[in-house]
Amino acid sequence: MQQALELARKAVEIGEVPVGAILVKDDTCIAATHNLREQSGNPIAHAEVLAIQEASQTLGNWRLTDTTLYVTLEPCPMCAGAIVLSRIPKVVYGASDPKAGSAGTLYNIVQDERLNHQVELVSGVCAEESSALLKSFFKNRR
């Protein structure tokens, strides 16, 4: 999770919302990203989506079984859907998102039994640090 927090800090340096994500397989990082929506002008350039794309390229497979996604903020509906579709079995996140959280807070897309894949969740890891980074970022933007 510390690596995801470092990526979130780097996002702040370039004016991006501080969300960092890493995907790990067999104790090896296969993708490490942060939000790039502002830099790329791409509304779907969330850290999680970028990590999923990078990991899929690295592994040569869209199925990301036997991986763990670490992310500093609870995934939004779009990212939660991408997590389910890419078959990531475990997500560890820091801060909850009361406005768009889709891993238990507002929705729980990643564990919805009506879908073909459910995800193991671990929430609150480095939550205070992740939350403080986000709050500071938005406070400075106002």
Residue 88 to residues 24, 83, 129, 136, Cα–Cα distance (Å): 10, 6, 25, 30
The length of the chain is 142
Annotated active-site residue 48? The verdict is yes
Closest by CA position to 37, among listed 16, 60, 12: 16
Closest by CA position to 99, among listed 75, 83, 79: 75
The catalytically annotated residue of 13, 16, 38, 48 is: 48
User: Looking at the annotation, which residues are catalytic?
Assistant: 48
